Structure formats: C-alpha cells, structure tokens
Amino acid sequence: MKKRPVVQTICALAVTLAAGAALTGPAAAQKFPTRPITFVVGFGAGGGADVFARAISEAAKTTLPQPLAVENRPGAGGTSANAYVAGRPADGHTILFAHAGSSVITPIITNQPSLKWNNFAPVARIHAEEEWLMVHPDSPWKSAKDLVAYAKKNPKKVRVSGSAIGGIDSFVVLSWEKAAGIDVEYIPHEGGGPAILAFLGKNAEVVVGNVSEFFQHVEAKKMVPLAVASEKRSPIFPNVPTLKESGADVVMVQWRSILAPKDTPADRVTALAQAFRKAMNAESWKTFNRNAKAVDAYLGPAEFRKFLASEEQRFTKIIDELGLRKKK
Amino acid sequence: MPDKPLIPCPVPRGAETSAVAATLDKTKENPLTETPHPRGSLSYLELVLGAFLVVFGGVIVALSLEIPPGVETDPLGPRFFPLALGAGIALCGVLLAVAEFLFRGEPSMAGPLSDASPEGEEDSGPFSPARFLGAIGATALYIAAFDPLGYLLATPPYIAAILLIHGGARLRTLLITPFLVTIALYAAFRFGLLIPVPDGPLEGILPW
Amino acid sequence: MGFLEHLFAGFVSALSGYGVLIMAAGVAWGIVGGAIPGISGAVAMALALPFTFALDAPTALILLAGVWAGANYGGSIPAILMRMPGTPASAACLLDGYVLAQQGRAAKALGVSLICGTIGALISIIVLIALVLPLGEIVVHFGSPETFALALFGLTLIAGLSGPSFLKGIASGFFGLLLTTVGLDTLTGSMRFTFGSSELLTGIDTISVMIGLFAVSEMFYLISHPSRPAGEVVAGKAGTAFPSLRELRDVGRATFVGTIVGLVVGIMPGAGATASSFVAYNEARRWSKRPELFGKGSLEGVAAPETANNAVQGGDLVPTLALGIPGSNSAAIMLAALLLHGIMPGPFLLTKHPDLVFTLFAGLVIVNLLMIPVGIVVLRLCLLALKLDPPVLIASILALIVIGTYAGDLFVLNPVQALIFGVIGYGMRIWGFSAAATVLGIVLGVLAESELRRSLIISHGEWSIFVTRPVCAVLLFLTLGVLLYPAFMTALRHWRARRVAAAPAAKS
C-alpha cells in the first residue's frame, strides 16, 4: 500500500529539484512571489468555497509568476484553516479563503476573536452571489408581498427550506421574519443540495439559497424566483423585485474573498490584490462566473477592510438578536 | 434460565458441513465476541461496568440539560436525542447490574453472534499494563510533536519506541527500520499524494 | 442520434487517446488513496483535481470516475488485512474480512471484495445508464421521513453486533449515536458537547474514530499481549489463494442482496455508501443460508457490504446527473470539475452535453472493468506488507494511521481522536462492549436524529407523517417485522420443541 507511489515519488522529486534549481537565481530574491503560493481553504473539496478558490487560482496563473496551490483544511466551520494561516509566516506565500461564515459569523458565535477577519490582512473581495427566495411554479404567491400577507395570517404554516442554521441562508430568513413581522417554519439542511431536494419533493413551500444552485431549476420550470435579498435588482432575473422593494430591508449576499496573515507586508498584499484584479479579466474566470451565476464584486485591501468592519457590525447585531452567541 | 440467546438468528442453525465451517474451530480470536466470565459466580466487574454506565449516562443527561435551545427550535429540539441516549445508557447499566444479580454470569442476555468461541482468547498472552501505557504514551507524544517538530523528526523516534515497547525486534531492525519507514511514508504522502506534511524546523532547509 | 449511438460514441470517446491509460492511472490512484486510512474517496478525487485542469472535460471526468471506483475498493484492503477501514464505507467489511485474514484467508476476502464490488458497481452503472431520468423523478420522493426510516432499519443491526452481552451492545450503539450529536447542531445552531472548543464545532471525524475503535485498539492489544503470536494474527498465513469459482458462487446471494441495497440506498439522497454497507451486511446475514458464520469469517459478510458500497456509485449519480444535485461528496467533486471546465452542471446536463454524459457512462463501465486487473496488482503488493516482521508491521501501521488521519483534513485533531478512541475501543473490547455497534451508531446517528427532527418540522409536529408516506411506512413496517420476527420464531421453536418432547413421552 505504501510501496506503490515510489515511481511517482522519484518523478516528482526529480521535477521538484529541477524546478527549484531553475528558480534560485540571484534576481529571484527581490521578487515576490518566489515560490508557489498556498491558498488555504477551510472547507472540503467540491463545495462552493473550494470551487471558487480553484477557479480564481486557475485564472491567476496568467497574472502571477508563481502558481497558487489550493490546500483544503476543513474543520470547525472553516475556522481551523483560519487558525492555521494565522500561524504561518506573513510573507505573502500563504493566503486564506474567507467568506462571511468563516471570517465573521463563526468566530463571533464561538467567541474566538483571534480567528476573526481583523486578525488577518484583508487582500481582496472577489465576487458575490445573491441569495434568492424561490417558490413552486404552482404556488399561490406571485410576489413576496403575497407571501408575507399569507404568512401573517398563518403563522408557522409556510415552510422554508435552506441550509444549516448559522449560514447565510438561515440569516436571510431569520432577518426577513423580523423585518416583515412574520413567523415561518425554517427547515435547515446539511447543505444547499439537500435543501433543494426537499423543496422539489414538495416538503417546503419556499426555498432559499444561492442562485447558482437554483438557476437551472428555474430554467427547467421547477422553481419560480420570488425575491432577491440584494441591494438592487439582479441582472440574472431583472423582473424580480428585491426583498427591500417588498418592504423588508434584508440585504445579504454570499461574498467570497481572500485574506493573508496579519503582518504580511503591504506591498505584497497590494501585489496580490492587483494580480487577482487582473485575473478577473481572464476568459476562464468570466466563464466560471457566468456559470456560477456570481457577479464580480472586487474591493481592494483598504475598501475591503472597511467592508469587513461593517459586515461585522451587522452580523454581531443579528447574532445577538437571535441569541446565537455562545455564553462566556 | 435456559441457555438461549435473547434474540436468536432468524434462520435456525443447521449442520455446518462446509470447509468454511471447519475452519471455525480454528478461529483464533473473534473481534465481535469477547471473553465470557465464568458462569455461576457473581462478577463484580459486571456490577462495576453497570455502575459506570449509570454514571456515564447520568453525566450525559446532566450535560444535555445545559444545551442551549438555539433558534427555530423543532418539536424535539437539540436536547432530545442526547437526553434519550444518556437515559438509555444509564438504563442499560441498571439492567446489566440487575441481570448480573439474577443470572450470575449466565450469558442469557447474549446477542446472536455470541454463542460460539468458547475458547475465547486463550492463546493471547497476559496483559502487560506497562506495554499498554507505553504504547499510548508514545503515540500521544508523537501526535503532540507531529506539528511542531515536523513529520521527519518526530517519526523515527516514535517507530523506534513502538519497536522497543513491542520487543522482539533485532538491533539491526531497531536502528534501520524507523528511518526506512519514515522516509517511505514521507515520500508516499509528500510526493506521491502531494500532501503538505508538516516539516517543522526543517521547513526552508529541505530543498523542496 | 439514438441512445445506443450515443453510448457507442461515448465508448469511442472514452477509449480514444490515452483514455484507457488515464483511467487505469485513476483507478490505481483511487485504490491507493482509498487504502490509506483517513483518505476518503472524495479526498483522493480532490487530490487528483489539479491534474484534470490539463485535460479536456470528458477525460477529466473519466479520470475522476476511475479514482472514485478505485477508492471504493481500496478502502477494503486495509480493513481486511489490518482491521483498519481505509474509508468509512469499508468499516462493515472488516467485521468478517479481518477474521478471514486471521484465518489465513486474506487473499480470498480481498478477491471477493474486488470481484463482488466490481459486479455491484457494473450493475448499478447499467441501471443508471438505462434509468437515469425516471429515477431522477423518484429521488425527490425520498425525503427526511424515508431516510429516518432507513436509519431505524439499519439500527436493528445493533442486535447482531452485540457480542456476549445484548445490553452492552445496546449501550455501545447508543454511545455511537451520542457521538454524532457532538458539535454545532444543524437544525438549531446550538453547540452540543463542545466544551468551549471550536475544534469540536464540526463534530467528531468519522473515519478517525472508526480507525481508533477498530485499528488502533487492535494494535494496542497486540502490543500489550506479548506472548501472543502477534505476527500470525496480523498477517494471517498471508494466504495468497484467491477465491475459487465455487466460493464465488456461494457468495452470489450476498452479492445480489448487496447490489439491491446499494442501488436503493444510493438513490436515497440522505444516505450514502457507509450506511448502505452496514444495511447490506445485516440483510445478507438475514437472507444467508449460513448466518451463523457472520462475524466468524464469512465470505458473504465481505461480499455484501463491498458490493453495496460499490453499487452506491450509480445511485449517487442519479440526482447528480438528473437534477444537478450531487448525491455524495465524491459526486460533488465531479460537478466541481465540470464547473471548473466551464460546463454548468444541472438538470440540463444530459440534454445540453449528451456527449459528455455518455462518455462518463462509458468511462464508468470501462473503469470498473479495469478494477479487476489493477486491483489484483495492487492487492498482490499489499499482501507483501504482511511479510514484514510483526513489530515492524505494527509500528508502521500506527505511524501510517497518524499521518493518514492527519492528511485527510490536514488537521492534527484527527489523529488525536484516533488515539483517544483507540484507548476507548480497547476498553470496550476488554469489557465486552461492541466497538462495531458504536461504529454503526456513528454511521447512522446523523441520519436518525436530523431526519427525525426535520420530518417533524416538515409535518408541523405531526407524527403521522411516518405512516402517511408510503415508502416510509413500508420501511417502518419492515423494521418492525425484523424486530418481531426472531421473537416469533423463538416462540414457534419453543412450541415445536415441546411437541417433539411430548410425542415420545406419549409413545412410551
């Protein structure tokens, strides 16, 4: 069992040594990056975070002199990767995937400020995916207002399928309940896929989640978009109003971004941010984003830091209102 | 009490004629069946185990009551399962002790897979607590050193320690094997599967 | 273009270029990855993912299909040889596989696992190819209540895994169920048994705990019982005789049962390969002509779970291809590969990219055929490991366990769990508890709890949901039957025995 990869090993060894020899010229010392950059993802392979990381890494091949290698370190809701990256040398050769869940929500809920975004150097926000509410094609509700009116008269009757409590999906629904003054039955699932299956099996009247997972079901006429939880209407279904338009001020998007260890030199952070920004023009990235139904939402290091601070405030408020934060 | 399992196999046991059945007699040790204690005498071990289950189940029940209800609580809630399981384990403990008093080691509460293997584990040697604790301690130290020392530095002493604790290895083996195994595993993981094995202080010194 | 033409084109495309070589490499990679403790099929596929960037989409898919199929088999190698499940799905096959290895029939067990697994996978792929769209319609009807009923059905196996004490077996099973409640509760967001540590947020690591309970405890046992001929126990007689045709025929019934279970459980979205293997083990025993051999070295006890966990592959792909919703982590990586190749997975995959899907179909068939030759080569090499000195083998296995469980998630807490549960498993073994029942609880715990609670949310708190849904009602009825049938049989036998005893008395 452990003898098998010997041949691969020798090949890999030879290749690595050759590559190393080629790069250790005197000029290499000045430049950054000098070796492959490790892109740590706190979630397992095949999930949204992982696919994002791999796609942007592939696109960045053309804009960075060194490749990015995605490293999955799943565990503790993404925060075991935070802990790992926090302990890595701050030389720009290790970067970290971050979204609201791993860099803001989970550290707040578990009372681990050391793993929160402000103990890292924000590099760039890359893209965002909208959160949608969908209903069945034969649903009696034609708009979010219809649904709210029904839910007000029939508390706990409308069932909404989504992913686990503590994720963005659940926060959209819980905030919506508060903002619209309704009480729906939220059915949490282990992930977006099972939530959709439960909805398609008519175990729920509404499903909430990322549009990338819904889009083809809308095309297949199995789902009808009801509302989007974004600031303004989405280019994907421009006829569908926002939740805000329907009177409930709920704005929540699933953004995906990159952090670096806290003391990473500013010039290296800037170099990385610019490389990512350029990578977003690559054809492969555009195709990926089109398929993933995500919109580019680039923010450079400074703006991204401000954005994160505002996100933290917002989520702290929601989490405390829900009483989700662990007691000290 | 009849010597009968509580829940027998659905199909009555027939004559075992095959060669497969013949090898049964030679079964050295069966991971599913354990040594029964001698029948007829009250086993204090069983009583202690019953008491342990009661305490363990009780602790679980107590801890379950501390679980916060969370948001959007479903009809059963997050406490229901741990509570039920804790109570169930405690109940098993009570029944275990009661059964011991009543039946004195008769395997009357046996499951269907248990009735064979009367030979138990007779060919295994006596238990050596020193070796047992040594193996646990060595492994614990190894895991603790795994990240800070790195794989390459932590593994050879560990393998040597296990060889020493186990005994029976020749001096040559003791000196060479730890390094061979370490390098083989390192190569397989680091270069075969391309997994970033921790390098510890060697990071930056290694040419890759 | 008709269905068969599509399929033929798929085979041509899969076999073109270096197709066969790439698939064989994928299978080999998968077997090795699956055999390493802690590296699951999904992790092995993820590790192969970077290589797929250089390939076109169909080739990338068949490479991943090869890794997937290989890993399904690979997990059983260390399970049989060393009582160390390489993947969670191979935990059921060690119950008999390791006993067989101790009896010197390791190669027979490995051969049965390989051949029956391949048969199961091939049948499930054929069913997938023929029925993917109609089955896709069925998938959505397997909701939470049905999955809960399946979990209950599977839990009846606790009785069979109990060992000398039925009560201790139940307690062991409860302990396993309890372990799955550790961490952040999906349904309410409350933290359970985390004791303030965020490391336990995502709960216990299934495979590390399994390896601890089975393999680490076994190694500790061998080390701490010095005069035992340890080498013989670990190595068996390193028997290299493969199963005979007669033996293969004898496991036919178990293979059939395993295939059916694998197909059905595979299509159910909540359950997976691991649950299927335990259910198949239980069912094969129920339907076997020699149920008494189970747990004592039954080839059927290897054939059934291995067939089932391989047959899950086809079922997993049903929601993946028909609805664009991955049926398992492995299927999710296939979809991720598609997305990274600029193809959008979803319900239209089959109509928009038939060439791709049919290449995948063809690839799955070829890959599973390649399993036999590649598998034989790898298992021959693995059998060599048993020629090592016992102390060296034990030390190497322990080192492999630590690095393997670390490598899966690159998380040092995983080997810690393996160690802790190694000690617990040792205690359970000494004091007559059943580690196997605990593992069963771990496998079915999340299904049992989450799906039960979710069912009640869906039904607004009405318990009647479990009897008003036909599939669920049938499963629960079966469970009840399974529980009551033995008691009924015992009563019947008692009654017969009394009549037989009474008859001669009357004559004399």
**Disruptive mutation site among B155, B197, B208 for chain A (greatest number of A CBs within 10 Å):** B208
Of B73, B107, B158, the CB nearest to C164: B107
Pick from C410, C493, C429: nearest CA to B31: C429
Straight-line distance from the first to the last Cα atom of chain B, in angstroms, rounded to the nearest whole number? 70
Please tell me the distance from the alpha carbon of residue C262 to that of residue C120, in angstroms, as a whole number. Answer: 8
Chain B nearest-CA distance from A162, in A, is 13
Chain B residues touching C47 at Cβ < 8 A: 193-195
Give the pLDDT score at C178.
96
Chain B residues touching A88 at Cβ < 8 A: none
Element (H or E) spanning A71, and its range? strand A68-72
Residue-averaged pLDDT of chain C: 89
Helices of type H across chain B: 19-24, 44-65, 77-103, 129-149, 151-166, 171-186
Chain B residues touching C48 at Cβ < 8 A: none
**Cβ-based neighbours of A153, under 8 Å, separated by 6 or more:** none
Between B and C, how many CB-CB pairs are < 8 A?
A: 320
Amino acid at the residue A91 = D
Per residue in C66-123, pLDDT tens? 999 999 999 999 999 999 999 999 999 999 999 998 888 889 999 999 999 999 999 9
Pick from C174, C168, C158: nearest CA to B87: C174
Q: Cβ B82–C192 below 8 Å, yes or no?
A: yes
**Cβ-based neighbours of A120, under 8 Å, separated by 6 or more:** A82, A85, A86, A96, A98, A103, A259, A260, A261, A262
Of A20, A71, A165, the CB nearest to B208: A20
Element (H or E) spanning C100, and its range? helix C94-102
Stretch C458-472: mean pLDDT: 92
Give the pLDDT score at C506.
53
Q: For chain A, say whether C105 makes contact (Cβ under 8 Å).
A: no
CB A228 within 8 A of CB A251: no
Stretch A156-172: mean pLDDT: 90
Per residue in A132-157, pLDDT tens? 999 999 999 999 999 999 999 999 99
Chain B nearest-CA distance from C162, in A, is 5
**Disruptive mutation site among C162, C193, C237 for chain B (greatest number of B CBs within 10 Å):** C162
Give the pLDDT score at B128.
85
Local structure of B89: helix, strand or coil: helix
Chain A nearest-CA distance from B52, in A, is 31
Give the pLDDT score at B40.
59
Residue-averaged pLDDT of chain A: 86
The pair phi, psi for residue B53, each rounded to 5°, is: -60, -40
Per residue in C372-399, pLDDT tens? 999 999 988 888 887 888 889 999 999 9
Chain A 282-301, residues with CB within 8 Å of chain C CB atoms: 284, 287-288, 291-292
The token pair that represents C16 in the structure block: 């073109």
- Asked if pLDDT for residue C153 goes beyond 70, the answer is yes
Interface predicted TM-score (ipTM):
0.87
Please tell me the distance from the alpha carbon of residue C326 to that of residue C331, in angstroms, as a whole number. Answer: 5
Of B68, B191, B207, the CB nearest to A8: B191
Chain C residues touching B78 at Cβ < 8 A: 185, 187-188, 190, 192
Chain B residues touching C224 at Cβ < 8 A: 127-129, 131-132, 135
Tokens 């290694």 found at: B206
Please tell me the distance from the alpha carbon of residue C287 to that of residue A234, in angstroms, as a whole number. Answer: 57
Give the pLDDT score at C414.
92
Distances from the Cα of C270 to the Cα of B156, C134, C147, C334, angstroms: 43, 19, 6, 18
Straight-line distance from the first to the last Cα atom of chain C, in angstroms, rounded to the nearest whole number? 82
Chain A residues touching B184 at Cβ < 8 A: 2-3
Of B7, B29, B81, the CB nearest to C159: B7
Q: Cβ A164–C28 below 8 Å, yes or no?
A: no
Please tell me the distance from the alpha carbon of residue B168 to that of residue B170, in angstroms, as a whole number. Answer: 7
Per residue in C274-330, pLDDT tens? 999 999 999 999 889 998 899 889 999 999 999 999 999 998 899 888 888 888 889
Give the pLDDT score at C119.
95
The token pair that represents C481 in the structure block: 């039957």
Element (H or E) spanning A188, and its range? strand A185-189
Per residue in A105-115, pLDDT tens? 988 888 888 89
Give the pLDDT score at B144.
95
Of B33, B177, B193, the CB nearest to C163: B33
Write the DSSP assignment of A82-149 as a string of letters.
HHHHHTS-SSSSEEEEEEHIIIIIHHHHTT-GGGSGGGEEEEEEEEEEEEEEEE-TT-S-SSHHHHHH
The token pair that represents A111 in the structure block: 């009372």
Please tell me the distance from the alpha carbon of residue C437 to that of residue B111, in angstroms, as a whole number. Answer: 12
Chain B residues touching C83 at Cβ < 8 A: 31
- Asked if pLDDT for residue A326 goes beyond 80, the answer is no
Among the ranges A318-327, C1-10, C415-424, which has the highest mean pLDDT value?
C415-424
CB C198 within 8 A of CB A111: no
Please tell me the distance from the alpha carbon of residue B77 to that of residue C381, in angstroms, as a whole number. Answer: 51
Cβ neighbours, 10 Å, residue C420? 17
Pick from C237, C214, C205: nearest CA to C386: C237
Please tell me the distance from the alpha carbon of residue C457 to that of residue C218, in angstroms, as a whole number. Answer: 43
Please tell me the distance from the alpha carbon of residue A104 to that of residue A106, in angstroms, as a whole number. Answer: 6
CB B78 within 8 A of CB C194: no
Task: Give Cα B170 distance to the centre of its chain.
Answer: 29
Local structure of A38: helix, strand or coil: strand
Tokens 């076109």 found at: C56
Q: For chain B, say whether A17 makes contact (Cβ under 8 Å).
A: yes
Pick from A3, A134, A105, B59: nearest CA to C195: B59
DSSP C214: I
The token pair that represents C245 in the structure block: 């045709």
Q: Which residue of B has its CA nearest to C48?
A: B193
Pick from C455, C444, C454: nearest CA to C479: C444
Chain A residues touching C410 at Cβ < 8 A: 71-73, 84
Dihedral in degrees, nearest 10, Cα atoms A280, A283, A285, A287: 140
Chain A residues touching C457 at Cβ < 8 A: 159, 185, 187
Q: For chain C, say whether A7 makes contact (Cβ under 8 Å).
A: no
Chain B nearest-CA distance from A39, in A, is 12
**Percent of chain B residues past pLDDT 90, beyond the cut:** 42
Q: Cβ A77–C36 below 8 Å, yes or no?
A: no
Q: For chain A, say whether C84 makes contact (Cβ under 8 Å).
A: no
Q: Which residue of B has its CA nearest to C457?
A: B74
Give the pLDDT score at A165.
85
Stretch A295-299: mean pLDDT: 90
Of B70, B89, B110, the CB nearest to C165: B110
Stretch A233-240: mean pLDDT: 91
**Disruptive mutation site among C410, C412, C446 for chain A (greatest number of A CBs within 10 Å):** C410
Place A14 in a pLDDT band, splitting at 50, 70 and 90.
Answer: very low
Give the pLDDT score at A182.
93
Between A and C, how many CB-CB pairs are < 8 A?
A: 193
Q: For chain A, say whether C461 makes contact (Cβ under 8 Å).
A: no
**Disruptive mutation site among B94, B166, B170 for chain C (greatest number of C CBs within 10 Å):** B166
Q: Which residues in chain B land under pLDDT 70?
A: 1-41, 104-125
Chain B nearest-CA distance from C2, in A, is 41
CB C205 within 8 A of CB C409: yes
Element (H or E) spanning C191, and its range? strand C191-192
Of B72, B191, B207, the CB nearest to A12: B191
Q: Cβ B192–A8 below 8 Å, yes or no?
A: yes
Q: Cβ B207–A174 below 8 Å, yes or no?
A: no
pTM: 0.86
Chain B residues touching A6 at Cβ < 8 A: 187-188, 192
Of B71, B187, B196, the CB nearest to A323: B71
Give the pLDDT score at B102.
84
Give the pLDDT score at B9.
37
Please tell me the distance from the alpha carbon of residue C278 to that of residue C441, in angstroms, as a whole number. Answer: 11
Per residue in C319-360, pLDDT tens? 888 888 888 889 989 988 988 888 888 788 888 888 899 999
Give the pLDDT score at B204.
77
Of C102, C220, C486, the CB nearest to B29: C102
Q: Cβ A2–B208 below 8 Å, yes or no?
A: no
Give the pLDDT score at B117.
37
Signed CA dihedral, C38, C42, C46, C48: sign only: positive
- Asked if pLDDT for residue A234 goes beyond 70, the answer is yes
Pick from A63, A135, B194: nearest CA to C33: B194
Q: For chain A, say whether C367 makes contact (Cβ under 8 Å).
A: no
Please tell me the distance from the alpha carbon of residue B84 to that of residue B81, in angstroms, as a whole number. Answer: 5
Q: Cβ A17–B194 below 8 Å, yes or no?
A: no
Q: Which residue of C has its CA nearest to B159?
A: C395
The token pair that represents B100 in the structure block: 């011991």
Q: Cβ C329–A44 below 8 Å, yes or no?
A: yes
Chain A 220-279, residues with CB within 8 Å of chain C CB atoms: 220, 222
Give the pLDDT score at A327.
57
Chain C nearest-CA distance from B107, in A, is 7
- Asked if pLDDT for residue A24 goes beyond 50, the answer is no
Q: Cβ B188–A174 below 8 Å, yes or no?
A: no
**Percent of chain A residues past pLDDT 90, beyond the cut:** 52
Please give the residue that has the higher pLDDT: either B4 or A231. A231
Q: For chain A, say whether C136 makes contact (Cβ under 8 Å).
A: no
Residue-averaged pLDDT of chain B: 76
- Asked if pLDDT for residue A12 goes beyond 80, the answer is no
- Asked if pLDDT for residue C22 goes beyond 50, the answer is yes
